[in-house]
Amino acid sequence: MEVIRIIWLFFQDQILGMKWMNALIGNALTAMGLSLDSIIGGALQFFIYDTVKIFILLSVLIFGISYIQSYFPPERTKKILGRFHGIGANSVAALLGTVTPFCSCSSIPIFMGLWKSKAS
């Protein structure tokens, strides 16, 4: 059980948290002569780290959602939702909605696809 915990912590810190990148940026800024304890150095490290991290995460997210949408077109969603009525339709629609994150990078393309396929 301890091995699984160690693997999970590594995955959480190094892969999802990208602490390796934060350390790399900190080392690069230190090599350029900036102190990470100063306001400018700390702010610059935070800005570069968060900008790159958000870009990577959004790129992976958009790629993943696009890949899912290529196998799950709006017509198929319309066909699935067309079999249900009332509260059952709302429940199935909510379940289908949980596979996508709630941000504009996925909800707007899905909405536009459903609108183009004239989903009710």
Crossing angle of helices 19-31/39-71, nearest 10°?
Answer: 140
Q: What is the mean pLDDT of residues 32-58?
A: 90
Q: How far apart are CA 112 and CA 58, in angstroms?
A: 19
Split at pLDDT 50, 70, 90, the class of 68 is: confident
**What are the tokens at 87?**
């509260």
Whether residue 40 has pLDDT greater than 70: yes
Distance, CA of 31 to CA of 41 (rounded, Å):
12
- Report the distance separating Cα 7 and Cα 17, nearest Å: 14
pLDDT digits (tens, 9 = 90+) for 15-39: 888 888 889 999 999 999 988 889 9
Q: What percent of the chain has pLDDT over 90?
A: 20
| Over residues 67-91, mean pLDDT | 79
